Copies of this chain bind each other. A is one copy, B any other.
Amino acid sequence: MSGQSAPQGTEGTDTGTDAAPGPGPRSVAAHQAAVAELLRHWFEAHPPAAETVPVAEAAGRVLAADVHAPGNLPPFTNSQMDGYAVRSADLAMPAGESAGESAAAGPDGRAVDARIRLATAAHIPAGSVPPPLQPGTAAPVMTGAMLPEGADAVVPIEACDPDHFLPAGTAGTVQLPAGIPPGRFVRRAGSDIAAGALALAGGTVLGTLQLGLLAGLGLDRVAVRPRTKVLLLTTGDEVREPGQPLGPGQIHDANTTLLRSSLEAAGARVLRSRILADSPAEFLERLRADIAADAPDLVLTSGGISKGAYEVVRQALAAAEVRFLSVAMQPGGPQGIGTVDGVPFLGFPGNPVSSLVSFEMFLRPALAAVTGTPRPRVQVQARLTEPLQSPPGKHQIRRGRYCPDGTVVPVGGPGSHLMHALASSNALISVPVGTEKLPEGAEVTVLLVD
């Protein structure tokens, strides 16, 4: 009944005595490694089969395998500018002239740009296949249009005289600057990526920029890893669903929303998110039925794992391969980790802030490292706008508001029930073990969160 309690949680009294084999609490780094190892072991034993999805629906998914370019990008050599496609040999600097040493010097001794007149060929719009470029001619070419055979450079229209195109079909001449090197303003076929080259490595998270490349390569479907399936359970029979009226002593469930939203934003699929009653026997029965029915990759609970007199998760899983231990972190000290019927299990504490911090510190990094999604949080250094204190022997995670000027404002104090303060923060401030006082202006590491 204190599983998820008002405000959800029971982490206050875990003194760490269960954190065998050492006598003290486990370090944050050691528990991070343990959570990642739990997931790694599961996915090594249960390698997920790839699924193929439309590129338009693949945002946030993880590439199942390397993608090689099916063709050149660009597919053909084309112009980088609106201008004239030329043979650079036709525009060689006249004998005796070179940049900075010109035979044609003006009255003040400064070089005058040498110009060469060529006959104009037919326009080359993008999407057309031009005839070969005859020597001594220049073909009006649009950006992205195919370069004609023989052409090896492009002169931008604004460098020409006249500096606009003649109407299509008009025969004429154009004056072009001399000394254009071969390759100028030419995009070679395959210069972005060559056919057969590695475009994106397996394990890449597909964001906008990666989806754009797949589309540019002509791919409309892509093989991705399946989403990690998470069975999410919230404990506490004093806990009511949002939208339901509260009786005396009852509270609304925030943890399910916090964890489901966090998991979904991290690319996982939440199979069930249920508030379970506080009887250990009923909890275990339902949990095992859900595991059998849903085949999750992970069971995640919040609440009921500390050392109160009513700890449903802890009591229900006393016989399972689960350890309940203390991590030297505040909030989020009490943690459960192990397997239930062979499936990875994590038990987070019941306070909303504690469960959110547990997700950000343990589960999210493990998902990122093992499954490839989500992308790791951005971590930056920031200057505190006010002093902070932290308890000895704890890695304290405070909530804060990171500002574009590189400062971070702590919000809400250390209390793990403060959801309003949590909702006004965008950063988690780390105060590692060994640091008990930080002055205003001190540099701290912050994780930027949504």
Q: State the A residues within 8 Å of B (CB).
A: 1-13, 15, 55-56, 59, 71, 73-76, 78, 80-83, 123, 125-129, 140, 142-146, 156-158, 165, 168, 185, 187, 192-193, 199-200, 207-221, 236-238, 240-244, 246, 248-258, 260-262, 264-265, 278, 306-310, 350-352, 356, 375, 378-381, 404, 406, 415, 417-423, 425-426, 448-450
Contact = CB atoms under 8 A, between A and B. Distances in A.
Contacts of A425: 209
A435 to B, nearest CB: 20
A7 B192 contact: yes
A183 to B, nearest CB: 13
26 contacts: A1-B125, A2-B82, A2-B125, A3-B126, A11-B143, A12-B83, A80-B415, A126-B236, A128-B249, A129-B249, A143-B306, A144-B238, A144-B251, A165-B309, A193-B419, A208-B265, A208-B356, A209-B450, A212-B257, A214-B257, A215-B252, A219-B243, A220-B243, A375-B450, A380-B406, A381-B406
Specify how many copies of this chain sit in the oligomer: 2
A223 to B, nearest CB: 15
A375 B15 CA distance: 40
Contacts of A142: 1-2, 5, 10, 308-310
A419 B240 CA distance: 50
Which of A208, A221, A379 has the largest number of chain B CB atoms within 10 A? A208
Contact of A216 (B7, B55, B158): B7
Contacts of A82: 2, 10, 12-13, 306-309
A350 to B, nearest CB: 7
A427 B408 CA distance: 22
Given A55-B242, A145-B249, 16 more contacts: A5-B144, A6-B126, A7-B73, A7-B192, A125-B310, A129-B248, A143-B350, A193-B419, A200-B423, A207-B450, A209-B425, A212-B422, A218-B252, A219-B242, A220-B241, A379-B404
A380 B381 CA distance: 10
A217 B252 contact: yes
Contacts of A415: 80, 187
B209 A423 contact: yes
Nearest to A78: B6
Contact of A12 (B81, B217, B419): B81
A208 B145 contact: no
A236 B127 contact: yes
A378 B262 contact: no
Contacts of A212: 254-255, 257-258, 261, 352, 356, 419, 422-423
Contacts of A236: 126-127
A6 B309 contact: no
A352 B208 CA distance: 12
A424 to B, nearest CB: 8
B242 A2 contact: no
Contacts of A146: 6, 248-249
A200 to B, nearest CB: 7
B213 A420 contact: yes
B145 A6 contact: yes
A261 B125 contact: no
Contacts of A240: 218
